[in-house]
Structure 1
Amino acid sequence: MASIETILTLFILIGLGYLGKRTVLNGQPLAPLNTFVYYFAVPALLFNSVYQLSLDQLFRPAYLLAFVLGVTLTGVIAALGCRYLFREKSKEVLSIRALNATFSNYAYMGIPMVFGLLGEAAYGAMISIILLGNIFQIGGVQLLIEGQREQGKGMRSLLAILDKSLLRSPVFIATLLGVTVSAFQVELPALVSSTLDMLAPATVPAALFCLGASLEFKSLSRNRAMLGWLVAVKLLIHPLLTLAIFTLAGLEDRNWLLAAVFLAALPTGALAHVMALRYDVCEKETSLTVVISTLLSLVSVSLWVMLMI
């Protein structure tokens, strides 16, 4: 029941954005709100998630590598499907669609669901996977798109791509700072921690409101088959591949296994739409992928939970 209430609350926030864009925000740009989410709210959320945990809780290389392999294979499958089934040739578009098929709703659904199902024993695994997912998936897509847009050659071109996609990425910087604070056991001033505690929760409602404001159902009729493909990959193939990789690798820590599978089974996260807006690639298709996958996850996530527990 709690998971259903969480998903319904998500739809209310999306609906408020859809309504707001067509009433009081009619004609207003979404860029400022999207900028706030990407540069302020998301970094606060990621930093808050990591700095209070020890490095021993965060780093289990074999398990994290298995999760990354699942994401990579799923992304490749999604992109190949779009390339050969739907004749999509743009590498930027394929990068965003691979993100849509692999990036989960970690913050809003992942944390409460995994913590509610598995308790504190799986908290370190959950946070580690979420942090790695944000860096690898968001940073990876930025790297691919910036690489396509960078016209130069050689070392200067490579440094420019890394600078734009990683070194100046708030997702990467916030996570790196959080790990550093954790490693040196730095105690933050009360003023700083209280500010972060106020800022971090703004991530989800602001991102979902922005998502709802961007919804345009006209594109659904043009891309119905492609959207169906991406949603199927996200809700079925991604968790199935993750489960298979963990099993074949002989990784026996059940808390990490369940956390990885449940996080992979979640619908597409709103931060994928933030990235689509940032690069002006597949914005409307991404918003629809988030909404449709979230709606269908009412059934699919419940089935995965019943299967695994």
Structure 2
Amino acid sequence: MEVLGRLLGLLVLLFAGTGLRRVGILGPTRTRRLNDLAYYVALPALVFVSTYDRAIGDLLTPALVAGTLAVLFGTAGVAWLLHRNRVDRERRGVAIVQSYHSNLGYLGLPLIAATFSGDVTAVASVVLGVVSLTQVPLTIAVLTGINGAGASIGDELTELVRNPVLLTLVLGLTVGSIGVSVPGPLTVGLDALGSLALPLALLCVGASLQFELPDGDLGTSAAVVALKMAWMPALAWAVFSTLDVGAAAFTAAVVMLGMPTAVSTYVFANELGGDPEFASLNVFLTTLASVGTLFVLIQTVG
């Protein structure tokens, strides 16, 4: 019941963000400031306190990387097979990328930190890094390849490696591997900031969700939801069950890869020739479905 209550609270915060946007309280400027607070302060603080006392070799293992990439590319491959014959290429590319592109930073890591132990959160931080460095260029390649839109993957990768969350992950793993002592008051303060990551991120995601239905194609949206919220975590479970990983790594990988579609896919679709209304609908549907699927997933791995 505790997990269900937490997930229902997640849903409340999401709709609160949407409601605050609709009544004008969370306008573009305030939403951007709230997003900056989560992106540049709360999430980096959460990543650092999760990793600063752990050696990189204990977290970043070949099995974890191989399993994560197998699930990511395996889901992308199934999505391509399922949607490759769509005549409407603007929705074809969106349907493919939204079947595998997960919301790890604004939902996955904060939710795991609020639900599981520090060991699981530390591994989840590494999963965030591995997947982010892979799914972003993959998504850009898929959308530009299908839509013929102009985009520099090199520029996007440069922006990605400047991501404050990923930079903090490298810093935390470096500090943990070297064995540098971090003052207690600093970690306490960072832990308090990190605890704000989930509510801030949920308000930002909620303020970004749109409910307008595009013309038809609910069948394609249903396929996206099924792949993202059922197939991908099931594949993760199957893959990591065969690998030599500990309980913390298994839990972190399966739950992180069971997260809904990232809001950033809407941005990519809007910039790279995709259908933004269709993308927005899928983000909303997968996020809504995640309350039920994550409850089952967390209860099962727990």
Partner residue, 2:293: 300
Rounded to whole Å, the distance in 2 between the matches of 1:183 and 1:14 is 37
Q: How far apart are the structure 2 equivalents of 1:76 and 1:13?
A: 33
Q: Write out aligned runs for 1:229-268 (5 A).
A: 229-247=223-241, 249=242, 251=244, 253-254=246-247, 256-265=249-258, 267-268=259-260
Paired amino acid for 2:43: V
Tell me if structure 2 keeps the 8 A contact 1:34–1:274. Answer: no
What are the residue-to-residue correspondences of 1:277-296 with 2, within 5 Å?
Answer: 277=267, 280=270, 288-296=281-289
Range 85-94 or range 132-141, more displaced: 85-94
Which of 92, 113, 130 pairs up with 1:136?
130
Summarize the Cα distance change of 1:183–1:27 in structure 2 as closer, same or farther, 3 Å threshold.
closer
Show the counterpart of 2:263. 273
* TM-score scaled by length of structure 1: 0.75
TM-superposed deviation, 1:175: 0.8
1:299 and 1:134 map into 2 onto residues whose CA distance is 22
Shift of residue 227 of structure 1? Answer: 2.6
Quote the residue 2:77 is aligned against: 76
Contact 1:126 1:256 in 2 (8 A): no
| 1: CA distance, partners of 2:200 / 2:268 | 15
Change in Cα spacing, 1:278 to 1:201, as seen in structure 2 (3 Å) is farther
Residue from 200, 206, 217 that aligns with 1:212: 206
Gaps of 5+ in 2: none
The equivalent residue for 1:23 is 23
Give 5+ residue unaligned stretches, structure 1: none
Query: Which amino acid in 2 is paired with 1:268?
Result: P
Cα-to-partner distance string for 1:7-39 (whole Å, 9 max, x where unaligned): 110111112111211224265443333333223
CA distance in structure 2 between the partners assigned to 1:40 and 1:277 by the alignment: 22
Deviations 1:253-283 (A, max 9, x none): 4554344334433x416xx225644885576
**Pairwise CA distance, 1:211:** 1.8
Return the TM-score normalized by structure 2.
Answer: 0.77
Code of the aligned partner of 2:62: P
CA contact (8 A) 2:251 2:301 kept: yes
8 Å CA contact 2:109–2:256 kept in 1: the answer is no
Amino acid at match of 2:167: I
Structure 1 equivalent of residue 108 of structure 2: 106
Contact 2:127–2:253 (8 Å) recurs in 1: no
Match runs of 1:170-181 below 5 Å: 170-181=164-175
For 1:35, the equivalent position in structure 2 comes to 36
Task: For residue 260 of structure 2, give the secondary structure of its aligned residue in structure 1.
Answer: coil
The one-letter code sitting in structure 1 at the alignment partner of 2:17 is G
**Shift of the alpha carbon at 1:232?**
0.8
* Conserved 8 A contact 2:84-2:92: no
Does the 8 Å contact 1:38/1:170 carry over to 2?
A: yes
Q: Residues 38-53 of structure 1: matches in 2 within 5 Å? A: 38-53=39-54
Matched, 1:164 2:159: yes
1: CA distance, partners of 2:44 / 2:279? 22
Structure 1 residue 195, shift from structure 2 partner: 3.8
Secondary structure of 1:84's partner? Answer: coil
Distance 1:222 1:52, change over 3 A: farther
Distance 2:17 2:103 in 1: 24
2:4–2:295 CA contact under 8 A, matched in 1: no
CA RMSD of aligned residues (A): 3.6
Alignment of 1:170-209 (within 5 A): 170-190=164-184, 192-209=186-203
Change (3 A) 1:5 1:26: closer
Distance 1:307 1:197 in 2: 28
Contact 2:55-2:177 within 8 A present in 1 as well: yes
Instruction: Name the stretch that deviates more: 31-40 or 254-263.
Output: 254-263
What count of residue pairs does the alignment treat as equivalent? 291
Alpha-carbon spacing, 1:2–1:199, altered in 2? closer, same or farther (3 Å) = same
User: How far off is 1:179 after superposition?
Assistant: 0.6
Percent identity reads 23
